[in-house]
Amino acid sequence: MQKFNRLEFIEFGEPQIMRSGKKLKIAHFKCDCGTIIKKDYYLITSNTVKMCPKCSRENARLKKITHGNVKHKLYRKWQDMLNRCRNPKVDRYKNYGGRGIRVCQEWTNDFKTYFDWCMANGWEEGLQVDRINNDGNYEPTNCRIVKPLEQHYNKQNTVFVEYNGQKYCLAKLCNLNNVNYSNIWHGMKRGNTFAHYVEKYNITKFY
């Protein structure tokens, strides 16, 4: 997949001959918003054009936002969320946009909508927006407000265990019961069951 900023290459089209006789290499691209555009391939690859006209207008509108909360900490978090989901040049893109994770249109298009959702769901300084399904998108039905440690329990490499038919985050259970995570994890890799450690360490607290 070839992607330049917000535009993903689809295929080449018929070349366009200018009045000067110059031949333009025309190609079709798909913007992150889903819009298909036909443009000079050079304009895209040279970063002269970075998005479709619709997104360009919206981007210009966002830059002119006068809403008082643009200085709020959530504004920076909102920008970071958008960047890691759609900017391949961002270090964390591979774990977000690179995995197909997107930000819903209503949050992408309007910071105030995102801000209002966060406030209505109990955001305050020190809390974070976390995706319930780690493979799902940033959208109201898949997000919640959590403490940083809670978000740490919901990463790609989080280890989960099953006990009595229920699925649990191993790190969270270890913290709740004040037992050593490393001992259990390495023991399980050697073939021991989690139930063995429930009995060994008297694990009684489950969330």
Instruction: Please state the rounded mean pLDDT for residues 56-68.
Output: 65
CA distance 173 to 204: 9
82 and 16 in one domain?
Answer: no
Output the pTM of the full model. Answer: 0.48
73 secondary structure, DSSP code: H
180 and 131 in one domain?
Answer: no
**184 Rama class: left (phi>0) / alpha (psi -120 to 50) / beta:** alpha
84 and 40 in one domain?
Answer: no
Query: Where in the sequence is the domain holding 191, given as residue range(s)?
Result: 160-200
Domain end, chosen from 109, 125, 147, is at: 147
Structural domain count, the chain: 3
Give the rounded distance of the alpha carbon of 75 from its chain centre: 16
**Residue 12, domain member (yes or no):** yes
Render pLDDT for 113-156 as a digit per residue (tens, 0 to 9): 999 899 888 888 888 888 888 788 999 999 988 776 555 555 56
On whether the CB atoms of residues 89 and 4 are closer than 8 A, the answer is no
